Homo-oligomer: A and B are copies of this chain.
Amino acid sequence: MKWYFDDFVYGSIDGAVTTFAIVAGVVGASLSPGIILILGFANLFADGFSMATANYQASKARNEFVQMKRRQEEWEIDNLAEQERNEIREIYREKGFKDELLEDVVRIITSRRKVWIDTMMKEELGLIEDERNPFDSSVSTFVGFNIIGLIPLIPFMIFMMIGIDPNSEAFTYSTVSVLAAFFLVGMIKGKIVKKSMMRSGIITLIIGGIAASVAYMVGHGLNFLVS
């Protein structure tokens, strides 16, 4: 399969934010740390699955939409040739062609079915086919979501495995490692879109940090509900 790093990054930011939101919410509300692992894993699998499926459906829907439009253009060319020829004429008139040259261009474009349809797709409908494989795209999202989304849980897992009740120290480790993950993923993202990696890392860090703080404050503000 082919890896799509932008989908990986998209999934991983969401995974880290939602898992850490649970960590911060539980700690903010002073709940039992075991709840972090229960709801953290529930979220990793459930939300990761849902996000990957949403991604799959969106890519597939876009591909199907483009194919549907292509079939529609094919039908129009077969059944309403004169109208479609006029549309090509208008498109090229707008580009600055006229008179005999315009007619020559229309003749050449409409003499090859594929060129004709491609021109209608791009110029009339503004659609370009995307060869992205929906399945690979959604797997990339899911893996990013689960690998990076696991990071905030690791300190709590280690503490519980070695038999220590996770305390504020585990929360500190979790916070530091998720902030490092935000920064790193942001840098990768900056590299993909060919912008400043440092700037992109800091922006992702700030956004993730705000989301996590919101979760902590909501947890803290609502902890009377279980007291």
Contact = CB atoms under 8 A, between A and B. Distances in A.
Interface of A: 10, 13-14, 17-18, 21-22, 24-26, 28-29, 31-32, 34-35, 37-39, 41-43, 45-47, 49-51, 53-54, 57-58, 61, 64-65, 68, 95-97, 101, 104-105, 108-109, 111-112, 115, 119, 122-123, 126-128, 160, 193-195, 203, 207-208, 210-212, 214-216, 218-219, 222-223, 225-226
B215 A42 contact: yes
A95 B122 contact: no
Nearest to A17: B50
Residues of A contacting B: mostly: helix
A57 B206 CA distance: 13
26 contacts: A14-B47, A17-B46, A18-B18, A22-B22, A22-B39, A22-B43, A24-B42, A25-B38, A28-B42, A31-B38, A34-B222, A35-B225, A37-B225, A38-B219, A38-B223, A38-B226, A39-B219, A45-B214, A47-B211, A49-B211, A50-B207, A53-B211, A95-B112, A96-B108, A97-B108, A101-B104
B115 A41 contact: no
A64 to B, nearest CB: 8
A214 B42 contact: yes
A160 B64 CA distance: 46
Nearest to A56: B207
